[in-house]
Amino acid sequence: MKTADPELMRAINRYLVIDVIRRHGPIARVEIVERTELSRATISAITGGLIDEGLIHVRHFDAAEGGNDAASRGRPRVMLELNGVAYRVVGVKLSLHRISIAVTDFRGDVLRDLVIPVRIARQTPEVVADLVEDGVRQGVADAGLTMADISGVGIGLPGVIDGVAGVSHESPVLGLSPVPFADFMRQRLGVPVLLENDANLVALAEHWFGHARDRDSFVVVTVEDTIGMGLFIDGKLYRGAHGVGAELGHVKMRLDGPLCRCGQPGCLDTLASDAGVIEAARNAGYLATDDRRQSSELIASLLSRARSGEAGPAALFRTAGEALGLAIANVLNMLNPPLIIISGEGLRAGTLLTEPLLAVLDRLSLPALRAATEVIFHPWGDESWARGAATIVLRRIYETPLNASPT
C-alpha cells in the first residue's frame, strides 16, 4: 500500500487496534500483533497513544487469574482493555409507536435503557424532536449522567435516510418531505448527532456485536412497518450515491398492483410490510376499515386468528413470507453474500412467515449460490435497536484520528 495517505493509514490502524481490544480485551499486546498482523512497533505506538488519551487502560493479571497459555503461567501478564468511561453515548430508535433509548459506555455496554410508548407518526418533525430530546435527557439522568458527559447521539429510523448529511428524505416516522433531523437534535441537545436508516443500523450492530462479528460481507433484511436492507460489503456499509443505501422495500415485485407510499405500484412493502399485511386484511374484510388500533395491535389480532386456525388471516402471512422469499432470492442470486440475517418485529409471525419465506427462497435461488449463503433469523428487542444506534456513534469515535473530537 505504498500510495496510501499515511494519515489515513494511521487512522485505519488505530481503528483496527481499538476494535480488536473491544472484541477480545483484556488482551495482551502480543495477541494484538497476531490478530491485526501489524508490526510490534506499530502496536506499541498506537496502544501507547490510546493509553495517553485515556481510551484504553492496562490491567495486571496474576498468573492465577489471566492467561491461559502455558508460557505465561507463573508471571504477571499485562493486558489491555477499553476504558468504559472514556466516552458515553446515547442510541435512539424511532418507530411509529415508540421511542427506544439506550445510554452506553465506550465498550457499548448498556448503562440504562428506556422505551417511551408514544404515537409519533402523526406529529410534526419538530414535535418528534422535542419528544426525543425529553427521552434522551431522561435516559441520561437515569444513568446518573449529565449531557456534558455525552459525546454523541445516534438515531435510527425507517425510510430513505441520508446518513452522511443527517437528513430524512422520506420516512413513515418523519413524513415525505426532507427533514434535517440530525440538525434539529444537535440544536436541542448540544452534542453531535448521527442519523441512520434503521436497517443500516442493524447491519452495523450485527457487525459490532451480533451474528456478523467476524464477517466482512453480509446482508441484513429488516421486516418492520417497512422492509429495509443493510448491505455490508468488504468491511464497509454500502451507501449508494446519496448516502442512502439499499431500499429493498421498494424493489418491484410486479408491474402493477396496489400503490406504495412512494407513489409507485408493485413494491415489496405493499406485500410484506406490516402496513401491506394490514391493507390486504382490510381489503379481504378481516379487519374493519375504521379500526384505528395501532398497527402492532392489528397485526397481533390477525396473528392470533391465524394461529387459531383461520385460513384467511394465515394466508396473509404466507403471502408476505413468499414475497419476502422471492425478494431475498433475488438478492441472493445477485450478490451471493456469505450471510443473510433476517430481523425485525415482523418475525413475531414466526413460522407462519418464515416457512413460506424459506420455501420460496430455496426454490428460487440458484443451488450453488444458495449452498454458499447462510440464512439466519435474528429477532431484535427494542433495547438491541437502541444499543445498535449507540454503536454508530462509538464507531465514529473509534474512527476519528487522535485527539480529534467526534463530529
Q: Which three cell numbers stand for residue 276?
A: 401491506
Residue 160 contacts Zn ion per CB under 5 A: no
Binding segment for Zn ion (CB under 5 A), chosen from 20-28, 208-216, 266-274, 392-400, is 266-274
Nearest CA among 285, 366, 281, 276 for reference residue 321: 276
> For Zn ion, which is the closer residue by CB, 76 or 257?
257
Per CB under 5 A, which region of 67-75, 201-209, 243-251, 382-390 contacts Zn ion?
243-251
CA gap 63, 263 in Å, rounded: 66
Stretch that binds Zn ion, among 63-71, 209-217, 249-257, 350-358 (CB under 5 A): 249-257
Q: Which is nearer to Zn ion, 260 or 357 (CB)?
A: 260
| CA dihedral for 383, 143, 397, 60, sign (positive or negative) | negative
Shortest Cβ 251–Zn ion spacing (Å): 9
Would you state the cell numbers that stand for residue 237, as one nine-digit string? 456499509
Stretch that binds Zn ion, among 7-15, 242-250, 339-347, 383-391 (CB under 5 A): 242-250
Give the whole-angstrom CA distance, residue 213 versus residue 359: 28
Of 77, 188, 250, 395, the one binding Zn ion (CB under 5 A) is 250
- Residue 102's beta-bridge partner residues? 91, 113
Does residue 262 belong to the site contacting Zn ion (CB under 5 A)?
A: yes
Return the residue matching grid coordinates 508460557: 71
Shortest separation between residue 157's beta carbon and Zn ion, angstroms: 17
Question: Of 63 and 259, which has the nearer Cβ to Zn ion?
Answer: 259
225 interacts with Zn ion by CB under 5 A = no
Q: How far is CA 122 from CA 118, 234, 363, 393, in A?
A: 10, 39, 41, 28
CB of 97 to Zn ion, least distance (A): 21
Contact residues for 204 (Cβ-Cβ < 8 A; gap 6+): 196, 230, 237, 388, 391, 392, 395
Looking at the Cβ atoms of 267 and 341, the one nearer to Zn ion is 267
DSSP letter at 106?
T
Residue 77 or 250 with smaller CB distance to Zn ion: 250
Which CB atom, from 66 or from 178, has the smaller least distance to Zn ion?
178
Binding site for Zn ion (CB under 5 A): 250, 260, 262, 267
